Amino acid sequence: MKGNKGKGLLGLLAVVACIVLFGWFGYDTADDIKLGLDLAGGVSITYRTVIDNPSAEDMSDTIYKLQQRVQNYSTEAAVYQEGNNRINIDIPGVSDANEILEELGKPGSLSFLDPEGNEILTGDQVVRAEAGIMEDKTTGQDQYIVSLNFNEEGTKAFADATSAHVGEIIYIIYDNQVVSAPTVQTAITGGECYIEGMSDYEEAQNLAATIRIGSLSLELEELRSQVVGARLGQDAIATSLKAALIGFIIIAVFMIAVYRIPGVASVLALGLYVGLEMILLSAFEVTLTLPGIAGIILSIGMAVDANVIIFTRIMEEIGVGKTVRSAIKTGFSKATSAIVDGNITTLIAAAVLFLRGSGTVKGFATTLAIGIVLSMITALFVTRGALYALYNLGLQDAKLYGVKKSRTPVDFLGRKKIFFAISIAAIVIGWAAMAVGAGSGRGALNYGMDFKGGTSTNVVFNEDMSLEEIDSQVIPVIREATGVADVQQQKVAGTNEVIFRTQTLTVDQRQAMEDALVENFGVDDETITAESISGAVSDEMKQDAIVAVIISTILMLLYIWLRFKDIHFATSAVAALVHDVLVVLTFYAVARWSVGSTFIACMLTIVGYSINATIVIFDRIRENLRTKTNKESLADLVNNSITQTFTRSVNTSLTTFVMVFVLFLLGVSSIREFALPLMVGIVCGTYSSVCITGALWYVMTTHKKAVKAESGNAPAAGGEGTGKKKKSGKKSK
């Protein structure tokens, strides 16, 4: 006994040491985690090439030149290609966002013209344009210049032109406007020249920047841009971390209260899980966004799921008379398949999100995937080690581990028609609401700016303003500043934040709106966030949403079919997923909840979460089928399987719901937009897993057997759960 206590103490100290060590490293590396623009503040812009199919060489050259351009603003700026004709630019931590957008937002063609208007050369023949200062040899004073270098082709063209036009003006045209008109003083044949006459260094910098951006190999047009104030990002981090801490404490108390000693082990494992999450985010250089934080918080809630499955199994084993040590060993063994299958199906949804989503959605998918993998590892190994350590310390009384006694199976299948009717009614209500919305001209769904284009501006006022005050005081100011008549407003409940939506605004209009709000209402310009999206992006997002759900559904179907070797398991699970998507769509339609950029992430998260719960029930049905006796009908087996896993379904949903609910209460507006439908999806996913999937599998299985029996290819299905067997007391042959 003393030896076991020594092993237990060493094991517990090892777990605690790992928590402290990795927790410290996690805390220490937290400052090294890259923050997305929505957290660090800054500018994000997406360009599309004017031509549809640019060459790889032109795209590479354009990206390289843009990289050189944006490095002047931030060393952490990133320029990267998206698809075959898009370029994304992220510049975090900058304060002069609108000025940057003014310079980057209109990259058009640039050309040099002779006095007769003939094109001498184009911007792509300029390889360098830099502002500088040189001493005037006559006066000795500094003069501000822009030095230029041309490529081989440009050098020859410029030499010919300047030789022919000494003493005349060369016009530099950008976006059909003259940006400079220097006089040729001498023939320039060496491929280098400088433009003088700028009044100050800033003017020289602006001209150099214009020439550089105009020298891109490809002409670009703005599709999407976003400006985020740094202070808003800091507030988002603070509220999200607060939500995570509160949610973690609630879950820890719940787990210990319900599962006792195993609950303590799970809290230790979750503590290690959080530290490892921080380390991996830093190690893999994951850019953390606001949806990414939501992914972490959600994965903490889902991490409890694996522990709940294990602990429920342990309680069942103790309930049938096994010793605690034997119950722990068997519980982990029996729970492994359900945990692995459930997590893999959720990872499928995360993978599709990453491949089909935009930047912030990719961030959510990345953190969710990391969280899922970590939760599986910590549950199967860390929780196991902590549990054995606590057991070896002398905590061996079965009462400390809980006992789940067998309960009378609930007749879920007997109520399947009611459940099916409720689901059909919910879906029909959704379609009806969408039809009414479309018929009234409001749209089938309340598409946010991401899905219909436009500009969204989030403003935090110094005091809470009523809707009447906003309509009568603020909106007229915005209309006058921007010249836009249609301005829609939405208050963020419980805050001083108001969201204004308009048609797509130019950079000048955005700046005018910001200046007007600062001047008239004393708004802090660092709390203003603006985002513009073109209609082209919104159309693609709608398509991506549909394609992403279809792809993930097909992949999940194939995986479940492969693992369970029964198409009925796969088809009933997928049918339940479609059910969940349609019911949540009903919520969006009836509540007129904004369908924004997080819509795809929300739907696929619900799909992944729901399939996880379904897998646990199917795993139990599969297990019980192996030990099924002739006396047990298939209906009884399904009812018993659902009843056995019911506590797990409720507890897991409850813990996940708590995490998302706290996030909804404390999170910023963009997180709330995501959290509320996700809570609806959690409830819906639990309902479909418990009430729909098992019934669907039973109906399809018995129908197939009945069809075979009628065709003479198989025995009658009476012994498989129709109830006939109990009446006759005989087995069909």
Q: What is the pLDDT of residues 335-391, one digit of tens each?
A: 898 888 888 888 888 888 788 766 667 777 888 888 888 888 888 899 999 999 999
Fold of 454-533: Alpha-Beta Plaits (3.30.70)
Q: What is the mean pLDDT of residues 225-232?
A: 68
> Is the separation of the CB atoms in 245 and 662 below 8 Å?
no
pLDDT of residue 716: 41
pLDDT at 136 over 50: yes
Long-range contacts of the stretch 113-119 (C-beta < 8 A, 24+) = 113/170, 113/171, 113/173, 114/161, 114/164, 114/165, 114/168, 114/170, 114/171, 115/165, 115/168, 115/169, 115/170, 115/171, 117/171
Q: Which CATH class is domain 420-429+537-720?
A: mainly alpha
Residue that wins the pLDDT comparison between 719 and 99: 99
Three-state DSSP string of 455-524: EEEEEECCCCCCHHHHHHHHHHHHHHHHCCCCCEEEECCCCCEEEEEECCCCHHHHHHHHHHHHHHHCCC
pLDDT of residue 686: 92
pLDDT at 429 over 70: yes
Q: Which of the four CATH numbers 3.30.70.3400, 3.30.300.30, 3.30.390.30, 3.40.50.450 does domain 44-102 have?
A: 3.30.70.3400
Q: pTM for this one?
A: 0.71
Q: How far is CA 505 from CA 287, 424, 534, in A?
A: 28, 43, 10
Give, as one character, the DSSP assignment of residue 112: E
Fold of 110-215: Gyrase A; domain 2 (3.30.1360)
pLDDT of residue 720: 41
Which residues belong to CATH 3.30.70.3400 in the chain?
44-102
Q: How confident is the model at residue 113 (pLDDT cuts 50, 70, 90)?
A: very high
Alpha-carbon span 591 to 726, nearest angstrom: 48
- What are the b/e assignments for 145-181, b being 16+ CB within 10 Å? bbbbebbeebbebbbebbeebeeeebbbbbeeeeebe
Q: Count other Cβ atoms within 10 Å, centred on residue 137.
A: 7
pLDDT of residue 167: 92
How does DSSP assign 22-64, residue by residue?
HHHHHHHHGGGSEEPHHHH-EEEEEEEESSSS--HHHHHHHHH
Residue that wins the pLDDT comparison between 526 and 626: 626
The dihedrals phi and psi of 151, each to the nearest 5 degrees, come to: -80, 180
CB-based contacts of 610, cutoff 8 Å, min separation 6: 576, 577, 580, 681, 684, 685, 688, 689
pLDDT of residue 229: 66
pLDDT of residue 538: 60
Q: Which of the four CATH numbers 1.20.1640.10, 3.40.50.300, 3.40.228.10, 1.20.1050.10 does domain 2-35+233-400 have?
A: 1.20.1640.10
Residue 141 carries which side chain, given as an amino acid letter? Q
The alpha helices in 627-693, defined as continuous H runs, are 634-666, 669-687
Here the tokens at position 677 are: 């439908």
Residues 617-641: tens digit of each pLDDT: 999 999 999 888 888 899 999 999 9
Residues 556-572: tens digit of each pLDDT: 888 888 888 888 998 99
Which residues belong to CATH 1.20.1640.10 in the chain?
2-35+233-400, 420-429+537-720
pLDDT of residue 66: 82
Residues 19-73: tens digit of each pLDDT: 778 777 766 776 777 777 777 777 888 888 888 888 888 888 788 778 777 876 7
Q: How confident is the model at residue 231 (pLDDT cuts 50, 70, 90)?
A: low
Here the tokens at position 257 are: 């209260």
Here the tokens at position 138 are: 């006559």
Residues 205-226: tens digit of each pLDDT: 888 878 877 777 787 887 777 7
